[in-house]
Structure 1
Amino acid sequence: MNGLHFQFNSIFGKSLFKVSEFRFGDEQYIKGHDKAPPEGKVFVLKCRCGSNEWTDNGRTINEYECDGCGQFVTVLERKE
């Protein structure tokens, strides 16, 4: 699974999708990448605090909250 992926918790369980672009808070968007990870691994977007526990709290579409520090990130899914 090449590229950057995003994993989050929802009412349906854990979800994973490929990232097109993301931004923390109101900062500029950053493009995902297509790098190949080591075999058996996946590149996953983590919070700046180091946590990988994101929740879709329903505040706005495509926005997720870090369970570790409360930071918000907006993530756009890559459609291929």
Structure 2
Amino acid sequence: MFQLGVHAVISIIIYLISIGLSFQAVKALNVEKFLRKGRTFEAQVLLIFMAIALGYLVASFVINFIDTSIQLSNFF
């Protein structure tokens, strides 16, 4: 039961870090070209959603990779 809690805490930390890193990366994009003028709030919301989506995908990959690596030790 303790391992399940530790796994959950580590997963949350990985998700938050990857969303933060992806937000920094997404800020480099110039999405204002694709939106109408005066729609800054919508542009900010779009950047946040893009960062969450990208961060979720990256974190899911990392967590799945770690879980698979740990299970690989059962092979030997």
TM over 0.5: no
Highest Rg: 1 or 2? 2
TM-score, normalised with respect to structure 1:
0.23
Question: Which structure ranks higher in relative contact order (CA pairs < 8 Å, sequence separation ≥ 6)?
Answer: 2
The structure with the greater share of residues assigned to helix is 2
Q: Which has the higher strand share?
A: 1
